[in-house]
Amino acid sequence: MGERPHPQLAHVASAEGIGVAERLAGHAVEPLNYDRVPSATYCRPETAGVGLTEAEARRRGHDVRVGRFNFGALAKPRILGHPEGFVKVVSEPKYDEVLGIHVVGPHATDLISEACVALRLEATTEEIFRTVHPHPTLPETLMQAAEDVHGLAIDA
């Protein structure tokens, strides 16, 4: 009682089911961190997010820094004919840790997987933007949104 409701998503149910099976088999099981469960909406443009929103991070007492990058500034979204949308990175300045990443745009539901790994590994925005991303690709938007947290986005 008193806990927030868990997201009613297939991938959450799958992760919970695997955890139950592992526990029944006698394995140590790490509790599922519901803050790191991705959401994905299959519409046009697609939307996806993982981690804390800017508002939720502030509500929890974090000092917040935000980076944002528009898809239309890069070649690949224009090549695909879908330059609409953006990536938003929510981080905190003390350790530069990424708290959340939110995407609205082409293939957002695929791009969010990189963000899930970043949050799982407690990545910093600098670690994301220092990771070489291939060009021209959609994931460059995540890299440049991380750069924007520090005012360094090249294609902004």
Active site residues: 135
The sheet with strand 86-91 has its strands ordered as 39-41, 46-51, 98-105, 86-91, 65-70
Which tokens sit at 134? 């291939």
Strand, coil or helix: 68 = strand
Distance between CA atoms of residues 44 and 52, nearest Å: 23
Task: Write out the E strands in the chain.
Answer: 39-41, 46-51, 65-70, 86-91, 98-105
